[in-house]
Structures are given as C-alpha cells and as structure tokens.
Amino acid sequence: MIKVLFVCLGNICRSPMAEYVFKDMVKKKGLEKQFSIASAATSYEEIGNDMHYGTKDKLEEKRIPYAKHKARRIEKQDYEKYDYIIGMEESNLRNIQRIVGNDKDNKIYKLLDFSKNPRDIADPWYTGNFTVTYEDIVEGCTGFLEYLEKENIVK
C-alpha cells in the first residue's frame, strides 16, 4: 500500500483538492487498491471544517467525486503512517517539519517538484483563483503518478 498525505495550510482548499484529484486519477487507471490517500493542515485555523466552496465547485465542474470533508491537522505520528507527505508550497514544508520533526526517511515533498516546472502552488484562499489551483494540482498529481510508475513503486 502506498500511503499519501497531501498537506496545505488550512486543509480546506488545496490539499483536499489534491486528495480528490489524485484519488480520481488512480481510480481511472484501476490503481486505487494500491493507495491510501488523505489530506491534512499544518494550522489549527480550519480544524473540523468542510472544504471551501471554491474547491467543491471546481471538483463538481470537473466531475471529480468527493466525500464529506473534515479538516484535520497533521500529527507527529503521521510521519510513520505515510510514505509520501506532500506539501503545496515551501512554507508548508517548513511547518510540516516543525510538527513531525526531522525528515529522516525523505518522505516530505512539494507537489510541483514532481512536475517539469517545480514551483509553489498559490493559496486560493488568498488569490480566489481556484482554476489556477486546479491546473497546478493536476500537473503535480500527474507528475507524481508518473514518478511512481517510472520507479516501479506502483505496479
């Protein structure tokens, strides 16, 4: 089982969008049984809250299924539970390390480091632009899945 945790600041916009985009992507390839996919926040701001309507609207527009979401904060124990802990921007990576400690097993990544054009994913909570967020997330998730296939991690 490949265990993936997507992480952003609030766990209501970017990381749940990545969670459902990636779930949909692996399901369409018939690979869903090989994965456990979830998302979490680094901050306490939105704990318990549902996804932002901008994220839900975008998932609905793209016909990507999603379930009832409840934002949660990443915990120190998640470091052992997951194989890939994937942040959206540089500040997420710093915050993740502050919570889980030293990345001794090299599990912490930035989503667009799996793309041909590594960069941060801007926070739509501030930009209001969920279209750019969605395109960036698809680019990152596509690159991540290609990486797993190329490295024979996914069969």
Known catalytic residue: 83? no
* Catalytic option among 8, 13, 136, 141: 8
How does strand 108-110 pair with strand 35-41? unpaired
> Residue with structure tokens 């979401």?
69
Give the shortest CB-34-to-ligand 4NP separation in angstroms. Answer: 27
Question: What phi and psi, each to the nearest 5 degrees, are found at residue 103?
Answer: -85, 70
Cα–Cα distance for residue pair 151/155, rounded to 1 Å: 10
What is the DSSP code (8-state) at residue 39?
E
Give the shortest CB-105-to-ligand 4NP separation in angstroms. Answer: 25
Cα–Cα distance for residue pair 37/2, rounded to 1 Å: 8
Known catalytic residue: 105? no
* Catalytic option among 24, 78, 123, 136: 123
Known catalytic residue: 123? yes
Residue selected from 45, 83, 113, 120 as contacting ligand 4NP according to rule CB under 6 A = 45
3-state SS, residue 93: helix
User: Which residue, judged by CB position, is nearest to ligand 4NP in the bound state?
Assistant: 10
Cα–Cα distance for residue pair 107/7, rounded to 1 Å: 12
Q: Tokens for 38, please give them.
A: 């979830």
Give the shortest CB-149-to-ligand 4NP separation in angstroms. Answer: 27
Give the shortest CB-7-to-ligand 4NP separation in angstroms. Answer: 9
Is 9 a binder of ligand 4NP (CB under 6 A)? yes
Residues within the interface to ligand 4NP (CB under 6 A): 8-14, 45-46, 123, 125
What residues are labeled active site? 8, 14, 123
